Amino acid sequence: MDNTIHTLQDFMLHTESNTYILMGVYLVCMVGFWKFLTQKDEEQD
């Protein structure tokens, strides 16, 4: 089957879907990273 993307619409559907996954992963990582970043501050306080 021909897998080439021929329309801007299909291309954006492909990239946007990936972007949404990326955003979800990022937000979870952000929480973890913030914890890592500030963990020792809180221990000292």
44 in contact with another protein (CB under 8 A): no
User: Binding another protein by CB under 8 A: which of 23, 36, 43, 44?
Assistant: 23
39 in contact with another protein (CB under 8 A): no
DSSP state, 19?
H
Whole-number Å distance between alpha carbons of 4 and 12: 13
> Cβ 2 to another protein, closest distance in Å?
7
Whole-number Å distance between alpha carbons of 42 and 7: 52
Number of residues that bind another protein (CB under 8 A): 29
Question: Cα angle vertex 18, ends 12, 37, to 5°?
Answer: 135
Q: Note the residues at the interface with another protein (CB under 8 A).
A: 2-14, 16-28, 30-31, 34
